[in-house]
Amino acid sequence: MELDSLAPDAFAPLTTYLNTASTGLLPARAVAAMGEAVAASAAGRPTDMFGDVEAARAAYARLVKVPVRRVAAGASVAVYVGLVAASLPEGSEVLVARGDFSSVVNPFHVRGDLKVRTAALDDLAAEVRPGTALVAVSAVQSADGRVADLAAIRAAALAHGARTLVDVSQGAGWYPVDAGAYDYTVTVGFKWLAGPRGVAFLTVPDDLGGLTPVFAGWVAGEHPWDSCYGPVRELARSARRFDESPALFSYTGARHSLALLEELGVERVHAHNTALADRFRAGLAPLGHEPIAAPGSAIVAVPELGHLQAELSGRDVELSNRAGNLRAAFHFYNSAKDVDRLLDLLPTR
């Protein structure tokens, strides 16, 4: 089966780019919009980039199936996980997955007065117990692409009265996400959402999840332009109270990246990406290589081949070396030709 790029005219890579799990490619429309915004600002005629923030927020809300009032716009997953960590009572137990990305784990460790317990990803649901306050986990593991059993984790958390925090940075954009199923979700925008750095989203429950907006500034006001001086008289009644002051040029690009994803449809992107990943897995077998088991993932990690990353980059094939694994990530701008080029360059064991 031939698998062509889903958006052949939207991107112009000069390499065989299989590194979206690290940084996604920017579509031409996002690059153009950011360039125009920069030029307008340099000319003293800035565009309404705050409107771009709201358009990006609304597009993301549609992608993850929650009302826009539940979405906060910021710049960093670690900041938003830190916000959740700061809102937990002293002594709370937080359950995390072993080897998960540091931005999901470290904010709980640095508080020093929380009980952080670690379990294997596959055992996470079984490890939830009475007294667990929060389960924090990545939907898709950065190091090797394994997909968490989120349904089981959510069911276990509900049974024990624990909240859930899911980092969808390695999923949002190709993996269907229902953010409403969890108390909090976080994501960056510069990977599978094909946006620039400087964009991140937090989703919270309708009751705002008991979070204290400890870094609230003027943009967190119900009426931001009336909240510029002195204490903010009224915080936004929505998740916008958790906004960070936005990186405006980045949100101008993100608006157009998210629009492209909406046009393609996450379900279509999911089918495309996983088909490419399966093609790669199948092609590894004749070469004598066995990837880490991660069924249904668009990320494929091959043990003991991470050292090839620099050599492959020199041959214009871009991947990552993560935990000693050669990590390939397949997105909607990739094709079967990209998979086959990579396989042709790998050694036989």
Angle between helices 266-284 and 248-264 (to 10 degrees): 80
Q: How does residue 323 score in pLDDT terms, banded at 50, 70 and 90?
A: confident
- Tell me the average pLDDT across 280-287: 98
Please report the pLDDT score of residue 171 as a whole number. 98
What is the average pLDDT score of the chain?
Answer: 97
Confidence of residue 2 (pLDDT cuts 50, 70, 90): low
Hey, what amino acid is at 97?
A
d(Cα 283, Cα 8) in Å, to the nearest integer?
24
Q: What is the pLDDT of residue 75?
A: 97
Other Cβ atoms closer than 10 A to 285:
10
Which residue segments constitute the domains of the chain, with CATH numbers given? 16-27+265-345 (3.90.1150.10), 30-263 (3.40.640.10)
Q: Which residues pair with 221 in a beta bridge?
A: 235
Q: What is the pTM of this model?
A: 0.96
Show the 3-state SS of the chain.
Answer: CCCCCCCCCCCCCCCEECECCCCCCCCHHHHHHHHHHHHHHHCCCCCCHHHHHHHHHHHHHHHCCCCHHHEEEECCHHHHHHHHHHCCCCCCEEEEECCCCHHHHHHHHCCCCCEEEEECHHHHHHHCCCCEEEEEEECECCCCCCECCHHHHHHHHHHHCCEEEEECCCCCCCCCCCHHHCCEEEEECCCCCCCCCCCEEEECCCCHHHCCCCCCCHHHECCHHHCCCCCCCCECCCHHHHCCCCCHHHHHHHHHHHHHHHHHCHHHHHHHHHHHHHHHHHHHHHHCCCCCCCCCCCEEEECCCHHHHHHHHHCCEECEEECCEEEEECCCCCCHHHHHHHHHHCCCC
Mean pLDDT across 324-349: 97
**Who's near 254: CB < 8 A, 6+ residues apart?**
30, 52, 56, 189, 193, 195, 196, 199
Residues 3-19 have a mean pLDDT of 93
1: confidence class by pLDDT, cuts 50, 70, 90: low
Sequence-separated (6 or more) residues with CB below 8 Å from residue 182:
150, 154, 164, 165, 166, 203
Per-residue model confidence (pLDDT) at position 226? 94
Distance CA 223, CA 232 (A): 9
Q: How far is the C-alpha of 88 from the C-alpha of 106, rounded, in Å?
A: 14
Determine the residue type at 240.
R
pLDDT at 80 over 80: yes
Mean predicted confidence (pLDDT) in 150-154: 98
pLDDT tens-digit readout, 292-304: 999 999 999 999 9
How long a stretch of residues is the chain?
349
* Mean predicted confidence (pLDDT) in 147-173: 98
Give pLDDT, residue 311. 98
